[in-house]
């Protein structure tokens, strides 16, 4: 089975607890279907929850889990009934984190968590709706299609926008898992077109068709990061104004040096189109001092050509 990241597992557990607690003994199969997990994964999550609590970890300070037959109950520890005293900053952090959990597939948008967040927002003077947290522009229906295909080990045909090449492509993939990172939803999969493992941004998939053909996942599913440079990827060195420091924080860089008040950074470039877009965003705040020094000029010429009338 595809390996679920620790972050995705945590979000699933946080979304599952209030829903199960409010259902008063839902069936295990219903919980698995709602949150896109197997029965074995659910039982592992419940074993983890059983150890969650506060010092001195007596029964009244632990979350109570009860599995009987094909049903499961989650009951909160006694300390959940105690009123919390939060600072405004803590309340805002709680509101943002709670809304992020509600963005997880399977979370109940009108359940106890949502109602509690509305109350927190009202106390903060926000009306409960001023903080909106969304993970990319990924339709829930698309997430459900991909998650189900990964669980069923069914191949999927994608209509996918390749951002680096600036074109729409059609490809067949073996889906491993759906996860979120950096505020976006991703599909990790084996791409039949390139014969290699790849990551796909879910918001760049305009159509996904589940095929009848199945696949066997590898014994060890790759532990994906959002972008892992390959040795064959070209490198570029940029000199940045201080106002462009966000590049270092947003993209994986291989080196950062101080260049007399400016930053000199080294990046791997997966596709030239990606570099061109980055340089257009940066404008005069960036200078290519090593690597593809013509990328910015070529990109600017193509953009200007669109405004030339014949």
Q: Is the pLDDT of residue 196 over 70?
A: yes
Same domain, 31 and 104: yes
Same domain, 252 and 147: no
From 62, 89, 123, the end of a domain falls on 123
Q: What is the pLDDT of residues 11-52, one digit of tens each?
A: 788 888 888 888 889 999 998 888 878 888 888 888 888 777
Please tell me which residue, 305 or 282, carries the higher pLDDT value.
282
Q: Is the pLDDT of residue 132 over 90?
A: no
Average pLDDT over residues 180-192: 81
Q: Answer whether residue 227 is part of any domain.
A: no
pLDDT at 310: 46
Same domain, 167 and 269: no
Rounded to 5 degrees, φ, ψ at 64 are -100, 125
Same domain, 118 and 11: yes
Contact 267, 254 (CB under 8 A): yes
Same domain, 114 and 159: no
Same domain, 92 and 157: no
CATH code of 16's domain: 1.10.10
pLDDT at 65: 87
pLDDT at 22: 86
Q: Which residues of the chain form beta strands (DSSP E)?
A: 64-68, 71-75, 154-162, 167-181, 184-191, 196-201, 205-214, 235-240, 253-259, 262-268, 286-290
Q: Answer whether residue 229 is part of any domain.
A: no
- What CA–CA distances, in Å, run from 82 to 61, 76, 249, 257? 12, 12, 39, 51
Same domain, 161 and 267: no
DSSP class of 270: S
Same domain, 185 and 98: no
Q: Answer whether residue 24 is part of any domain.
A: yes
Q: Answer whether residue 134 is part of any domain.
A: no
How does residue 1 score in pLDDT terms, banded at 50, 70 and 90? very low
Range(s) of the domain holding residue 172: 140-214
Q: Answer whether residue 208 is part of any domain.
A: yes
**Structural domain tally of the chain?**
3
Q: Is the pLDDT of residue 88 over 90?
A: no
Q: Is the pLDDT of residue 296 over 80?
A: no
Name the residue among 103, 147, 214 with its Cα closest to residue 2: 147
Q: Is this model's pTM higher than 0.75 or not?
A: no
Q: Answer whether residue 225 is part of any domain.
A: no
Average pLDDT over residues 121-132: 61
pLDDT at 105: 65
Same domain, 202 and 243: no
From 91, 123, 155, the end of a domain falls on 123
d(Cα 173, Cα 190) in Å, to the nearest integer?
A: 5
Q: Answer whether residue 223 is part of any domain.
A: no
């Amino acid at each position: 089975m595809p390996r679920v990241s620790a972050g995705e597992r945590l979000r699933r557990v946080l979304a599952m607890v209030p829903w199960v607690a409010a259902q008063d003994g839902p069936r295990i199969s219903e919980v698995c279907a709602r949150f896109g997990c197997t029965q074995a994964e659910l039982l592992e999550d419940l074993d983890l929850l059983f150890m969650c609590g506060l010092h001195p970890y007596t029964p009244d300070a632990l979350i109570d889990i009860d599995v009987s037959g094909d049903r499961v109950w989650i009951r909160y520890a006694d300390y959940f009934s105690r009123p919390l005293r939060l600072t405004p900053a803590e309340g805002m952090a709680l509101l943002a984190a709670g809304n992020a959990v509600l963005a997880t597939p399977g979370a109940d948008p009108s359940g106890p968590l949502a109602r509690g967040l509305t109350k927190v927002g009202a106390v903060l003077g926000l009306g409960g709706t001023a903080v909106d947290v969304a993970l990319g522009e990924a339709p829930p229906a698309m997430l459900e299609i991909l998650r189900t295909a990964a669980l069923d080990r069914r191949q999927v045909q994608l209509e996918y926008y390749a951002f680096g090449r600036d074109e729409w492509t059609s490809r067949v993939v073996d889906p491993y898992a759906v996860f979120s990172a950096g505020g976006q939803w991703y599909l990790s999969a084996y791409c039949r077109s390139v014969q290699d493992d790849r990551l796909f941004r879910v918001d760049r998939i305009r159509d996904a068709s589940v095929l009848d053909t199945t696949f066997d996942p590898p014994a060890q599913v790759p532990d994906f990061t959002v972008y892992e440079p390959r040795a064959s990827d070209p490198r570029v060195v940029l000199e940045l104004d201080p106002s462009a420091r966000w590049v270092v924080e947003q993209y994986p860089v291989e080196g950062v040096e101080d260049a007399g008040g400016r930053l000199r950074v080294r990046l791997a470039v997966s596709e030239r189109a990606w570099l061109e877009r980055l340089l257009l965003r940066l404008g005069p705040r960036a200078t290519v001092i090593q690597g593809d020094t013509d990328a910015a000029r070529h990109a600017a010429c193509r953009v200007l050509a669109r405004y030339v009338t014949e």
